[in-house]
Every structure is written in C-alpha cells, then in structure tokens.
C-alpha cells in the first residue's frame, strides 16, 4: 500500500480511487494471484509452549512475509505448540491460529492479524472475492460506488495496523576487541534507539530489514549499518582521529591540535550560542582555566575586565590583546558575538611571543564565520530579556531615618530635626524609597539574521544584528547595530582571496557613571527618604533635601543629565594567499579601520554641577595594518617542518575637537546652540604612531612524537626612544601516545607533556611619553610685566624619561594534555611562572620641574599559578547525553622590586581616594591600605580613649607603633582584591530534542573595600541613609555595640578594615532549556531547523558580601581592583528566544 495513500484523508482517497484506470485494477488482480500461488512455499517450525510473537518472528524470517498487527493484540494471545516440517505456509498459519482469539489475512506479502470476532476479518487471497467478487469471476470491473467503498475499507483497515517489529541483537567492540559499553545505536531518521550494556551487547527492534542503524560513541568514528537478513550484528568501531587532527588557529597560521606545544584554549561558536551574549568577553567567563573575567559595572554595553594568568602591569592595561581575523588590536565592541566562529586563547609565552611587545597579557584570536558551500541558507534568531536588580539594600525608611537624624543631632548638641508630629506622619506614609524610584526593569531585545552559501569557487556570509539594552536605572541605554559581509573566493588553484568588511554603530546614554558621590546610583542609597520625588503642589522634581549634604535628588540628576555618545566604526580586511610552490605559500593581510566617536553632554538643573553647561566632543581615528608572511610546510620521511617568516607594519592617526559652553541661558536648546553660553571653551588635538615588526617561527616534529616550536619577534615602536626590542620563545613537547609502550594502553587515548619559555612585552606608553611638552594657561602662577596685567603662563610639562622601555614578561610553563576512555574524558594541567620587569609607574613631579605625572621603569612583579581543566561526556546512552567541563585556576603574585623603594602608596576611589592601596616589596598587588578596625571604645575605656583624642562610642583601631595616636604609621594592609582561585563549571544535558544547559562561575579568597557601604554613614554631621541593620544597631550608652556612634570625629570614618568584606562568590551565570522541533514536523514547511529556548542569567548567588554585587569593581588596574564605590550591579535576567533556519 502506498504510504502516500495511507496518510490521505477520506475525501482525498475517494478522488484518488476514482481516477484509477482499469489497467491498474487488472495489475492488482494479477499480482494477487501471483502471490497466492506462492503461498505453497514450505516452512519448518518446532516450538513447545512458545509465545505467539516468537512463532511469528520465526515464520517471518523463513518466509519473508511481514506481519501487521496492533501490538496490544499480543496480550490476549495464547502460547503455541507446533511441530511441522516442510509444510506450506498457509497450513502452518492455520495450525498456529486455530486456538487463538485472532485471525489472519494475507494481502500481497503482508499477513494481517486481527481479532477473530472482527466482522471485517480477512481470509487468504483465495477468498478475496468476498470483497471483490467481480475479480474472481474475471468480469470487467466498473468504477462503481460499491467498489470505491470496498477499496477505501481495505485501505482503512491496513492503515490501522503497524508491522511486527524485528528484533536485532549484537555486540560492539573496538579495534582491539575490547567491548564498548554505552555506545548509542539509533534507527536513522527516528528517535528509536538503545545503548550497549556493560558487556557491549544490545537488542533493538527495527521496523524492517532495510533499516539503517547508526552507531556512535565519543572518541570513535560513527558507523551506519544495514542489518539486511542478519539477526545478529557484530560491529567494530574505529578510534576517531578527528580530535587529534583538528586544526586550531594560532598566530599567523594554523596547526593540528596534536602538534600544538603552547598553552591554549578554545571557545567555539556552539558554546557561544548557548547564552544570550552582548559582549564578546562574556564568552570567556567561566569557560577557560587561567582566564578571570569580571564586570567593572552592570551599566548597559559596558566592557568586562579580562585577566589571563594574573595582572602584569601596575598602572598600565592588563587586558589581553585581541586579534580579529588577523587585525591586531581590533575593537571588540565592533564585534557581534553571533558572528564569531571561534575564540583561541593563547596563554603561555610560546603561543604569545609572536605578538612581541603586545603579548604580555595573553592573546585572544578571534575568527569570524565564513559561508559554506551549498545552496543559500537563512538563519534568524531573536531573544528578549527582562532585567532586574539582583538584590536591593535594606535601607531605613523615612521614619527610621528621621529618628536617626534626631539622634545624630542630639549627639552634637543640636535640637531634633523632626518633631513628634512629623515622625508620626512619616511612620504612616513610609516616605520615598529612592532605590525603587530610580531603578527599573528593562526589556532587552536582540535580533540577528544572516544569509550564507556559495559554490566551490565563491562562498559568502552576510549578517546583520540589532541590540537594544536599556539600563537598570532611569534614562540609560545602549544600542548597537552591526553589519558584516565575509566573502571567500578561490580564484584558481594557486590563489585564494578573502574579504571581510564590518560596520557597527553603537549608541549610548548615561553609561559612564563613575560611582562618585554625585552619581544617581550612589545617591539612591544615601538620599533623604523623607523628601518626595516631586513637589506635591507643582509636580516639579525636587532637587535638594533639607537634611542631607548630598544636594541633588537621584531621580532629578538621572533625568536631567544627557551624556550621549555614538560611534561609526568600519573595518575592512583583505587576505590574499598565493601558493608559490608545493608547500610554499605567501599571504598578505591588510586591514584599514576608521572610527568616528561623537559625544554630547548636557547637564541641566539639579545635576550637581552648579550651572547649566553643554559640551560636544568629536574624534576621527584611522588604523592601518599590513602583514606579509611566507609559510613553508614540508615532510621528509619522519620529519615535518613548518617555517614562517613575517614582515608587518601598523600605523595609526587620531584627531579630536571639543567645544564647551558654560552658564547656558536656556536648557531647551542644549548642545545644539553652544553660542548661548556665558563662556565658551574649545580645544583640539592630534596624535600618530607606528609599529614595525619582523618575526620568524619554526615548528618541527619527529615521527609526530617529539615537537619543537621556536620563534623570535623584533618590534620597533615610535613611542620609545629605544625603539627596537626582541622577544624570543622556545617550546618542547613529547607526544607519549605515539610511543609503542602506550599504543596498547587501555587508559590513555592521548598523552602529551610540554614545556616552554619566552618573553613578551607590554607597550603601556603613550605616543609622546618620551617627548617634553609645553602647556599654556592653567592655574600656575603668572608674572606681571606691567604690574597689573598677567602674562600668559607657558610652563614646561612633566619631565620625561628618554630611556623608557617596554614592560617585559619572562614566562616559564609546563603542562600536560591527556584524554582517557577513547577521548571520552579530557584533562589539561599547567603550571607557570611569570617575571614582569621594567614596570611602568607614574610619579608626581614637583612644580619647579614642570609638575604633572611622568613615567618611569621602576621594578618587577612575579606571578605564578596552576590551572586545571577536566571535560568529557559522563553519559551518552540512547537519547540521553551529558557533557561537562570544570576548570579551576590558582594565581599568586607579589612585588619583587620597586626600584629601590620599600613601598608606594596609591590613591583609590571615593572616600578611599587618598592612600587606599599600597605596593610593598614581598607583598601581593592590589592590597587595601588602612587602619585595622577593632570596634568601638566602651564607657569603661574612656580614659584610654582620651589618650587617642577619642571618646566612648568612637571607632577603635590597632595602635601599630604604640604611640597612643592614630597616625599614618598605624596603617597596614587590610585586604586584597585578587582572588586566590577562580572556577567555572559548565554542563549540557540532552534528552531527545530537549537540552538543559547550566553554568556556575565564581571566585574565592578576594576581598572588597566597599565605599558604597562606607558612605552610608557619612561623617562630620552628614545626614545620609544607612542599612537598617547598622542604623538600628548603633552605639549608645545603653547599647554599646561595635557600630560607632554619630559623631563629628573624622577619625570615625578613616579608611579601615571596617569596610572590607569577603568578596568570594558563586553564581549561577546561566540556566537554559532548549527544545529543537523535530525535522519531520518542519520539512513540509521548508524549515531547516527551529529551536525555542528559555534561559536566565545571574539567577542565583552564594556570597557573604552585603552589597549589591561582589563581581563588580571600580578598580581598573592591578592596584585598585576590589575597590567598590557606587557600581551598578550585573542584572538578573530572564530570556526567551527563537532560532530559525531556512
């Protein structure tokens, strides 16, 4: 029976049958009689008290006939005893079914089983005339209504049955004859399947013998097998070489994964697609050992801090070098995460030394997607996220605040600020919750579409993306539109051309809050809750509060400030590869990038700036890079060699112009008419720099066992007086899995040990840092040439050092790569030691030398650490599959030299601005510096407190030098913002068409100096809000707690360990559930694939930190990390998304 007919509706069947011609009917009758003649074939069977299903199975194997039946019929069947030899099939069937509650009918090569009492049960073809009497008589058939009815009746009956499944048994082994438990066996094109047991055996029922079975197992090549007439299958799976032969991207080329001698990690497009990412850096968080990714702020569009193997620079950048399709220093904000094919993280000097003076902080190689050969494919995806604050601080309400202010006033001898009647009013209405008024729950939207395809000659990919991300506070957003076109062309057998062009236009508003005292987010935690948002009479925003020195309402400032920026960034890359000879290729890679940042700032009334002002900044930047390299690959018996030689040049130019108007006469026109300002200021600037480089690299392998990589790069920079420097590296590896003594190992699938040494640099020097400059104007003293008219001041700028050098990192690394259980489990471990010398530090010059800051190379830092990564597939059985990845990194650092100094004190943020951190020889980077807080002075200690100029209720600190005074000599290291270890735990669990993914990420052993919480207490008579717990637990004579009483004593608010908290945390960074719609439901609609998913980010957090978010920090360098002041946290988000392929 035609499958098409079986699935037709009854009306469709009627029309189809009416079109049958007489030829078809006679062919049907002829076929039936042919098959009737074959029923006389002989079969043999000998069974005693056997299940009917077993008897039918044996008859099917001997006769070649298929049985159709409803499977529930077997439950009512009786056991069969039959012993017949060389007997016609029909006779055997009569014997088998004579005592059964079932009957059979034979139609073509199918035997249909039904209940015996069914009125429509059928007999063999010899009795088919009961349905088709005219066929038996040989009369001419008419397309009568009766014939149509009987045909439809037969179709309906057959359609209600399904065939008896054929059992297949078997065993799966590897090439060594070892059994393989957990092998997945699936009927191709269906969800029907099973897995091998601990003995490698399996049993599976299949619909027919032409079925294709798919055998798959992690670490082995997938096989497809058709059982045919075999009832037992013995399948041997071969070890897959794909993992070892996989090609990974390295600087200026590619290598087989098995030949890599450096410490590298990979993040693939598949892993990136699991989360709704906004920034590229998010793809690195928690996925790779040795990489710590943290957010400096939860403001929309804000970049993340990335540290590869610790911090290397004191005041310079510690961010890795990003290389986008070969373009060094590419702007990652211009990159849409959906356009990425892979991220390769280069960690040790063997891998990064080829980038010389810019490789000290590690390198991230980004390869964008390319089109694939084939017909055009369209992919569309979109997701929507609802964001919210991860937590709110439990602050005082208006009533508690008013009582606290009255207490504070009383402590300073002043009358109460709030009367009893006012207190009762505030108790009744609760006042203003400024957190709720300022914070919002944004709806974030993302849309992605791409078109790809091509021929063997030309392949293309065109993608577009739009992102709209409002912030967690009012009047704040980030938007981004990107467009990319990647084209790959094979010109002829020798020439290949690739051209990539990308454009991005990001826009933002009020995303640059720095966390100072006047920022709205900071104000919302501190501002007077007794004040309303708007004047109840006029409806106008309330700008000031009567009982707070913080003068501007957080809502008024957020709504009255417009700091808007946009940028147009266009980059084009052309890569030409020419095969000169067999094994010898020449590649030239040229990139040209233009960016045009434009920023407009308008501060209206109530924004904390005293007067209205507007400012416009406009810039234009050009970057050009040309890389030319020859690559030779040759094999000589057991020897394999790859040689690369490079010449590279890079140039950059930038120009800027700024115009500002102060004391605007009207707010309405804003920055569109700066001439309305009382005063105007203008400035402009220009800069240019260049870098010239040479590089050579040799990769050598002997019998694929012993591997060597050696490289040297020479960089010359316009930034320095000593322009050129050399950066060498050497790496060795031993692939033990290729040795004969491991060839038969049942434990190791792959085992490689490696070691490396190399030098890299950090070009943390401005374009004109070695050139003395002259400035004009400013606040410097001026001389009067006529007694009353000041001359124009043109003092020298800060002194310069003509001997500035690159910060240089010398790194040692030893590692091991291993896989077990035929690649099902993979393990990587690395130990490293980094010595960073010629550290750059900015000194303050005295005025007589020109004032200002100037750079010097002053000392060195040591970083050392361990990295571990364990990944694999714990479960792969049938429909169920679980893959997992756990990584953990330990890092320790210390200052080893400060150019002869014992310590250097560094400024921080907020009230911790002065002397907040310290550099000290033999101590770690990023130490907080202050007093050790002991609690409060009690009444019984009044005399002792007086020696320190304090009184009961005041803060009590450790007197380090014993002089009975709190001075700078009593300050000590009180914490450190660097984690002792960081980790990530990623899991994907798939069952059928469902996939559950989740990722935990966290750090441990780091502290946070929270100026946000410190500011809640204010000082010197300030009236600020505070957390309920602290405010209601303040020191009083009757309740002598360790929270200092309100006081005008400034020492109560010194930088101290009072504000240092444990910053360790564990976060559920991502949880998602994806459903893939089955292909058989999509084929009719011409849909290639369809996935629907729901996910959440930052859903769950374990931490002792009482602030908003332990992950964020104001600290932008190695010294100030962990210092927190009014930083907007990362939002908790709930997402729903769709991925569609056409």
Q: Are 1130 and 390 in contact (CB under 8 A)?
A: yes
Q: What is the pLDDT of residue 505?
A: 94
Q: Are 976 and 1000 in contact (CB under 8 A)?
A: no
Mean pLDDT of 581-602: 93
Q: Are 661 and 653 in contact (CB under 8 A)?
A: no
Angle, CA 741 vertex, CA 740 and CA 743 arms, to 5°: 60
Q: Distances in Å between the alpha carbon of 431 and those of 518, 520, 1026?
A: 22, 18, 15
Residue-wise pLDDT for 936-945, tens only, equals 999 999 999 9
Mean pLDDT of 924-934: 90
Q: Distances in Å between the alpha carbon of 588 and those of 209, 247, 369, 499?
A: 56, 21, 20, 12
Residue 78: is its pLDDT beyond 80? yes
Closest CA to 709 of 367, 364, 348: 348
- The string of DSSP codes covering 1007-1054 is EEEEHHHHHTT--TT-----BHHHHTTB--SSS--SBPPP-S-GGGGS
Mean pLDDT of 1033-1060: 82
- Say which residue the tokens 């991860």 belong to: 390
Residue 60: is its pLDDT beyond 90? no
Give me the long-range contacts of 666-670 (CB less than 8 A, separation at least 24). 667/602, 667/604, 667/605, 667/612, 670/562, 670/600, 670/602, 670/614
Q: Among the residues of 98-164, which ranges form H helices?
A: 133-137, 145-159
Q: How far apart are CA 977 and CA 1006, in angstroms?
A: 5
Residue-wise pLDDT for 387-413, tens only, equals 999 999 888 888 988 888 887 777 777
Q: What is the pLDDT of residue 206?
A: 84
Q: Where are the beta strands (DSSP E) in 637-704?
A: 639-664, 677-702
Q: What is the pLDDT of residue 491?
A: 92
With cut-offs at 50, 70 and 90, classify the pLDDT of residue 788.
low
Contacts of 423 (CB under 8 A, 6+ apart): 399, 402, 403
Q: How far apart are CA 1125 and CA 72, in angstroms?
A: 71
Residue-wise pLDDT for 1041-1053, tens only, equals 998 887 656 677 7
Contacts of 692 (CB under 8 A, 6+ apart): 648, 649, 650, 715, 716
Q: What is the pLDDT of residue 109?
A: 66
With cut-offs at 50, 70 and 90, classify the pLDDT of residue 869.
very high
Q: How far apart are CA 1105 and CA 1127, in angstroms?
A: 14
Helix/strand/coil for 177: coil
Q: Is the pTM of this model over 0.75?
A: yes
Q: Are 436 and 346 in contact (CB under 8 A)?
A: no
Q: Are 368 and 452 in contact (CB under 8 A)?
A: no
Residue 808: is its pLDDT beyond 80? yes
Mean pLDDT computed over every residue of the chain: 82
Residue 1104: CB atoms within 10 Å:
10
Q: How far apart are CA 712 and CA 708, in angstroms?
A: 14
**Phi, psi angles (nearest 5°) of residue 97:** -100, 5
Residue 142: is its pLDDT beyond 50? no
Angle, CA 84 vertex, CA 79 and CA 89 arms, to 5°: 90
> Domain map of the chain by residue range?
3-163, 166-240
For the chain, give the longest Cα–Cα distance. Answer: 138
Q: Distances in Å between the alpha carbon of 241 and those of 221, 247, 406, 749, 819?
A: 8, 12, 77, 10, 13
Measure the CA dihedral 81/87/91/97, to 10°.
20
Sign of the dihedral defined by the CA atoms of residues 133, 137, 142, 143, in that order: positive
Mean pLDDT of 184-193: 78
Measure the CA dihedral 165/169/175/181, to 10°.
100
The bridge status of strand 232-236 relative to strand 166-173 is parallel
Q: Are 223 and 234 in contact (CB under 8 A)?
A: no
Q: Give the DSSP H/E element, type plus range, for residue 61.
A: helix 52-63
Q: What is the pLDDT of residue 943?
A: 93
Q: How far apart are CA 385 and CA 1135, in angstroms?
A: 4
CATH class of 166-240: mainly beta
Rg (CA), the chain: 39
The fraction of the chain above a pLDDT of 70, given in percent, is 83
Exposure class string for 139-169: b at 16+ Cβ within 10 A, else e? eebeeeeebeeebeebbebbeebeebbbebe
The CATH number for 3-163, chosen from 3.40.50.720, 3.55.50.30, 3.30.450.20, 3.40.10.10, is 3.55.50.30
Helix/strand/coil for 879: coil
Q: What is the pLDDT of residue 547?
A: 60
Exposure class string for 124-137: b at 16+ Cβ within 10 A, else e? bbeebeeebebbee
Higher pLDDT, 678 or 1: 678
Residue 143: is its pLDDT beyond 50? no
Higher pLDDT, 36 or 426: 426
Q: How far apart are CA 995 and CA 871, in angstroms?
A: 18
Closest CA to 399 of 425, 367, 373, 377: 425
Max mean pLDDT range (93-102, 346-355, 758-767, 914-923): 346-355
With cut-offs at 50, 70 and 90, classify the pLDDT of residue 611.
low
Q: How far apart are CA 53 and CA 58, in angstroms?
A: 9
Q: Are 27 and 64 in contact (CB under 8 A)?
A: no
- Dig out the tokens for 730 from the structure: 């050497």
Q: How far apart are CA 773 and CA 751, in angstroms?
A: 58
- Dig out the tokens for 597 from the structure: 């940042």
Higher pLDDT, 128 or 240: 240
């Amino acid at each position: 029976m035609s499958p098409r007919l079986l699935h037709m509706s009854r009306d469709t069947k009627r029309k189809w049958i009416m079109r049958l011609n007489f030829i078809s009917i006679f062919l049907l009758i002829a076929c039936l009689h042919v098959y009737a003649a074959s029923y006389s074939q002989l079969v043999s069977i000998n069974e005693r008290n056997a299940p009917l299903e077993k008897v039918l199975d044996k008859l099917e194997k001997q006769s070649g006939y298929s049985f159709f039946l409803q499977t529930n019929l077997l439950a009512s069947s009786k056991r069969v005893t039959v012993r017949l030899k060389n007997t016609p099939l029909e006779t055997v069937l009569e014997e088998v079914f004579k005592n059964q509650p079932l009957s059979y009918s034979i139609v073509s090569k199918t035997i249909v089983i039904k209940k015996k009492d069914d009125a429509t049960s059928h007999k063999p073809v010899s009795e088919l005339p009961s349905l088709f009497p005219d066929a038996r008589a040989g009369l001419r058939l008419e397309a009568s209504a009766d014939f149509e009815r009987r045909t439809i009746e037969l179709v309906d009956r057959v359609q209600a049955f399904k065939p008896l499944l054929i059992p297949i048994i078997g065993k799966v082994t590897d090439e060594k004859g070892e059994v393989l438990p957990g092998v997945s066996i699936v009927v191709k094109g269906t969800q029907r399947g099973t897995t091998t047991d601990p003995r490698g055996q399996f049993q599976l029922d299949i619909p027919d013998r032409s079925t294709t079975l798919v055998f798959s197992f992690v670490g082995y090549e997938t096989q497809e097998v058709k059982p045919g007439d075999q009832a037992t299958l013995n399948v041997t799976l071969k070890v897959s070489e794909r993992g070892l032969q996989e090609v990974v991207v390295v600087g200026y080329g590619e290598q087989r994964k098995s030949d890599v001698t450096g410490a590298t990690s990979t993040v693939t497009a598949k892993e990136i697609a699991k989360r709704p990412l906004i920034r590229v850096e998010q793809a690195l968080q928690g996925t790779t050992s040795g990489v710590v990714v943290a957010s400096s702020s939860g403001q929309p569009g804000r970049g993340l801090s990335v540290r590869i193997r610790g911090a290397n620079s004191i005041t310079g950048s510690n961010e890795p070098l990003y290389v986008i399709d070969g373009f060094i220093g590419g702007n990652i904000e211009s990159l849409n995460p959906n356009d990425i094919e892979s991220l390769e993280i280069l960690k040790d000097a063997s891998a990064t030394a080829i980038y010389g003076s810019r490789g000290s902080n590690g390198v991230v190689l980004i390869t964008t997607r390319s089109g694939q050969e084939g017909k055009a494919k369209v992919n569309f995806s979109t997701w929507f996220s609802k964001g919210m604050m991860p937590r709110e601080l439990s602050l005082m309400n208006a009533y508690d605040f008013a009582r606290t202010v009255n207490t504070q006033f009383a402590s300073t001898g002043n009358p109460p600020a709030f009367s009893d009647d006012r207190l009762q009013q505030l108790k009744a209405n609760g006042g203003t919750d400024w957190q709720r008024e300022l914070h919002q729950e944004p709806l974030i939207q993302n849309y992605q579409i791409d078109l790809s395809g091509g021929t063997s000659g030309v392949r293309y990919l065109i993608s577009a993306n739009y992102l709209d991300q409002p912030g967690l506070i009012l009047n704040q957003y980030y938007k981004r539109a990107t467009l990319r076109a990647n084209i790959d062309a094979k010109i002829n057998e020798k020439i290949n051309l690739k051209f990539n062009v990308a454009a991005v236009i990001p826009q933002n508003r009020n995303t640059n809050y720095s966390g100072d005292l006047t920022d709205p987010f900071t104000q919302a935690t501190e501002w007077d809750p007794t004040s309303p948002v708007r004047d109840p009479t006029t409806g106008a925003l309330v700008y000031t509060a009567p009982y707070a020195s913080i003068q501007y309402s957080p809502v008024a400032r957020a709504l009255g400030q417009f700091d808007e920026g946009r940028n147009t960034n266009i980059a084009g890359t052309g890569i030409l590869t020419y095969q000169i000879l067999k094994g010898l290729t020449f590649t030239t890679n040229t990139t040209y990038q233009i960016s045009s940042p434009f920023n407009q700032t308008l501060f209206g009334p109530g924004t904390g700036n005293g007067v209205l002002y507007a400012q416009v900044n406009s810039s234009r930047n050009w970057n050009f890079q040309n890389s030319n390299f020859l690559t030779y690959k040759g094999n000589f018996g057991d020897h394999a060699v790859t040689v690369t030689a490079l010449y590279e040049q890079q140039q950059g130019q930038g120009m800027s112009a700024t115009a500002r108007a102060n004391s605007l006469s009207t707010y309405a026109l804003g920055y569109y008419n700066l001439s309305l300002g009382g005063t105007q200021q203008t400035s402009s600037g220009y800069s240019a720099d260049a870098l010239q480089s040479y590089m050579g690299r040799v990769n050598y392998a002997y019998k694929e066992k012993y591997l060597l990589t050696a490289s040297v790069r020479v960089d010359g920079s316009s930034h320095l007086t000593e322009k050129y420097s050399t950066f060498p590296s050497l790496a060795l590896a031993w692939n033990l899995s290729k040795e004969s003594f491991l060839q038969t190992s049942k434990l190791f699938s792959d085992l490689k040990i490696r070691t490396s040494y190399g030098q890299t640099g950090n070009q943390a020097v401005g374009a004109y840092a070695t050139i003395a400059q002259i400035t004009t104007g400013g606040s410097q003293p001026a001389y009067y040439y006529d007694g009353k008219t000041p001359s124009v001041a043109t003092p020298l700028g800060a002194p310069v050092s003509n001997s500035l050098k690159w910060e240089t990192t010398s790194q040692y690394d030893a590692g091991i790569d291993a896989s077990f259980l035929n690649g099902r489990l993979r393990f990587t471990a690395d130990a490293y030691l980094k010595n960073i010398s010629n550290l750059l530090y900015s000194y303050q010059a005295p005025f007589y030398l020109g004032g200002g800051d100037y750079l010097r190379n002053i000392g060195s830092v040591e970083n050392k650490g361990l990295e571990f990564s364990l990944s694999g597939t714990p479960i792969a059985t049938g429909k169920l599959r679980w893959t997992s990845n756990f990584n953990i990194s330990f890092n320790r650092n210390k200052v080893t030299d400060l150019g002869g100094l014992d310590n250097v004190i560094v400024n921080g943020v907020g009230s911790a601005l002065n002397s907040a951190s310290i550099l000290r020889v033999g101590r770690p980077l990023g130490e907080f510096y202050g007093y050790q807080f002991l609690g409060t002075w009690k009444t019984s200690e009044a005399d002792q407190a007086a020696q320190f100029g304090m009184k009961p209720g005041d803060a009590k600190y450790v007197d380090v030098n014993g002089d009975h005074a709190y001075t700078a000599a009593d300050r000590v290291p009180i914490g450190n913002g660097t984690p002792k270890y960081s980790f990530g735990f990623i899991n994907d669990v798939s069952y059928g068409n469902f996939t559950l993914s989740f990722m935990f990420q966290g750090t441990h052993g780091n502290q946070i100096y929270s100026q946000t919480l410190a500011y809640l207490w204010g000082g010197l008579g300030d009236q600020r809000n505070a957390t309920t717990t602290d405010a209601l637990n303040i020191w009083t004579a009757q309740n002598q707690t360790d929270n200092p009483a309100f006081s005008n004593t400034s020492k109560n608010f010194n930088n101290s360990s009072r504000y240092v908290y444990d910053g360790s945390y564990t976060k559920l960074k991502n949880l998602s559930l994806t459903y893939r719609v089955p292909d058989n439901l999509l084929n009719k609609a011409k849909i290639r694939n369809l996935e629907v998913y729901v996910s959440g980010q930052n859903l769950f957090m374990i931490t002792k930190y009482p602030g908003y978010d332990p992950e964020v920090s104001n600290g932008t360098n190695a010294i100030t990390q962990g210092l927190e002041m009014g930083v907007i946290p990362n939002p908790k988000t709930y997402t729903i998304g769709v991925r569609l392929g056409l």
